[in-house]
Amino acid sequence: MEGTNIRTATLYPAAISTELLGGITDPGAADAMKSLYDKHAITPDRVANVVSFAIDAPEDMTISEFTVGPTSQAW
């Protein structure tokens, strides 16, 4: 609602080291993702830093989107 200073942000994480890979049941897909994550994944604290940055931003400012990923990841 206009004038309420409610802020939202969308976070697009890339290869972040989480339990996500443990839920992949297709062996081929799991191996491919493991290989990708072994090469490119960053730690969850990187995402936490971005969330903290958004929360700590001045109340009269909003940041709509964050794409978070390793610099070595090609996309």
Q: Is residue 39 part of a domain?
A: yes
In a domain, 2, yes or no: no
Q: Could you tell me if residue 14 is inside a domain?
A: yes
Return d(Cα 61, Cα 73) in angstroms, integer.
Answer: 30
Are the beta carbons of 33 and 18 closer than 8 angstroms? Answer: no
The per-residue DSSP string of 8-53 comes to: --EEEE-SB-SGGGGG---HHHHHHHHHHHHHH-B-HHHHHHHHHH
**Six token digits for residue 17:** 């080291």
Tell me whether residue 50 is in a domain: yes
What is the pTM (predicted TM-score) of this model? 0.75
| Structural domain contains residue 5 | no
Segment 4-9 shows an average pLDDT of 83
What kind and span of H or E run contains 56?
helix 44-56
Residue 22 lies in a domain: yes
For the segment 22-73, what is each residue's pLDDT rounded down to a tens digit? 899 999 999 999 998 998 999 999 999 999 999 999 988 888 999 998 888 7
Q: How many domains does the chain have?
A: 1
Higher pLDDT, 36 or 74: 36
**Domain span at residue 41?**
10-68
